[in-house]
């Protein structure tokens, strides 16, 4: 099984095992999709580009405001959350949730998955 296949399997498991998590993707720092478990109505390229842009802004804010090392960005809309979590130095895990998601549980599951993705990326 290829690395991309292993990561795809992992993020699909995340989506199926985590209540209220609707979609997920792993994106590299340049905005290129590594693996995704997104719905058919979601454009992979747009998610990848927006995630990379938000990651860059989030990292800059944390650095410039002296908040330590970047860990996560969370954006909330009235229909749900978009959460980005670092997967090592070279990638980010982006997840989409429902508005009623239990954020504490989502954070726990997403952080565990991000650590596993980082391990797979080496």
Q: DSSP secondary structure string, 24-92?
A: EEEEETTS-EEEEE--TTS-HHHHHHHHHHHHHHHHHHHHHTT--S--EEEEEETTEEEEEEE-SSSEE
Residue 91 has φ and ψ, to the nearest 5°, of -155, 165
- Could you read off the pLDDT of 17-76 as tens digits, one per residue? 888 999 999 999 889 999 999 888 888 899 999 999 999 999 999 999 999 999 899 999
pLDDT at 94 over 90: yes
Q: How confident is the model at residue 13 (pLDDT cuts 50, 70, 90)?
A: very high
Q: What pLDDT, on a 0 to 100 scale, did the predictor assign at position 3?
A: 87
Structural domains for the chain: 3-121 (3.30.450.30)
How many whole angstroms from its chain centre is CA 78?
19
pLDDT at 117 over 90: yes
Would the pTM count as exceeding 0.85?
yes
């Amino acid at each position: 099984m290829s690395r991309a296949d292993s990561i795809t399997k992992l993020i699909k498991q995340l989506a199926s095992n985590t209540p209220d998590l609707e979609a997920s993707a792993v994106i590299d720092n340049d905005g290129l999709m590594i693996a995704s478990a997104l719905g058919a109505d979601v454009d992979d390229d747009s998610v990848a580009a927006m995630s990379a842009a938000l990651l860059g802004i989030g990292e800059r804010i944390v650095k410039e405001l002296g908040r330590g090392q970047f860990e996560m960005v969370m954006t909330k809309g009235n229909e749900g959350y978009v959460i980005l979590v670092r997967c090592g130095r070279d990638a980010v895990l982006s997840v989409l949730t429902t508005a009623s998601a239990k954020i504490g549980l989502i954070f726990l599951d997403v952080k565990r998955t991000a650590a596993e993705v980082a391990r797979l990326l080496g």
